[in-house]
Amino acid sequence: MSDEVAAEILQTHILDLAAEGRRLDGRAPDDYRTVTIEPGFVATADGSALVRIGETAALCGVKLEPGKPFPDTPNAGVLTTNAELIPLSSPTFEPGPPQPGAIEVSRVVDRAIRAAETVDLTRLCVTPGEKSWVCYVDIHMLGHDGNLIDAGMLAAVSALSGAVLPAKRFGIAEADYPLDVQHLPVECTFVRLGDTIVVDPTFDEEHAAQGRITVATDESGRVVAMQKGLVGAFSPDDVKAVVRRAFVHGDRLREQVRGARR
């Protein structure tokens, strides 16, 4: 019971601050937390990155294995994205099969990767209809202080950017070679706190929020995915404003992804 009361007091406080354009951690509404990208964190993966946004942490490992193309796309490789909200990373996550929250993260990140044509899947085809690379993008959340989608997306695109096809090990080519990443989508998430829409929400802000909205952009000025979540509403003008801000943050985040490549 006292937990609920405490939560309500915190929520009110967050909303009161937001009404004055302030936030619990001192940020302005359009301030994004510090982002760090540590590529190559996992040696057993063919590409990997540990991304931190404040105290939120997402570890992505990419594995590339030979497999079969889908019957309806015989000339393309296969890419699959999975996010695990493991109970280690938050007292609110439970063991067991993926919950809707984890599925939403997986799918929103997957849509952006796919729509931006981040990886040219036709280049992952080995023998049409017979053999192609399967690219597994697995995201393991290692800390949840809000904004999981952005963290998962940054980890995924950073891991893909540094990935190497183990072509030699599987006898597909004489030497391994880097995965070709042709676009750099990033997601940018906002929540509504009263009349203020803040970027990069913390865990507490998400719980106080009256609606969440995520916009994925790529480096060529395209919006490639969007997702409204949580209880709450946005006007079309809110959405347009948020898209504008998403491009600004997106360009900066993309610079970080590029800078972290090695």
Q: Minimal distance in Å, beta carbon 147 to another protein?
A: 14
Q: Is 179 in the site for another protein (CB under 8 A)?
A: no
Helix (H), strand (E) at residue 47: strand 47-53
Q: Is 207 in the site for another protein (CB under 8 A)?
A: no
* 159 CB-near residues (< 8 Å, 6+ apart): 39, 45, 47, 48, 49, 60, 61, 62, 137
Phi/psi at 94 (5° precision): -110, 150
CA 75 – CA 70 distance, rounded (Å): 9
Q: Which of residues 54-113 bind another protein (CB under 8 A)?
A: 55, 59, 61-63, 65, 72-76, 82, 84, 86-91, 94-95, 97-98, 100-101, 103-104, 106-107, 111
Q: Which one of 21-29, 147-155, 193-201, 229-237 is the stretch in contact with another protein (CB under 8 A)?
A: 229-237
Selected binder of another protein within 109, 118, 145, 209 (CB under 8 A): 145
User: Parallel, antiparallel, or unpaired: how do β-strands 177-178 and 56-67 relate?
Assistant: unpaired
Decide if 144 contacts 89 (C-beta within 8 A): yes
Q: Is 23 in the site for another protein (CB under 8 A)?
A: no
Q: Which is nearer to another protein, 30 or 136 (CB)?
A: 136
* DSSP-assigned beta bridge partners for residue 178: 164
Q: Is 170 in the site for another protein (CB under 8 A)?
A: no
Q: Which is nearer to another protein, 91 or 171 (CB)?
A: 91
Q: Minimal distance in Å, beta carbon 117 to another protein?
A: 8
Q: Is 222 in the site for another protein (CB under 8 A)?
A: yes
Q: How many CB atoms lie within 10 A of CB 220?
A: 9
Would you state the structure tokens that stand for residue 130, as one six-digit string?
């017979």
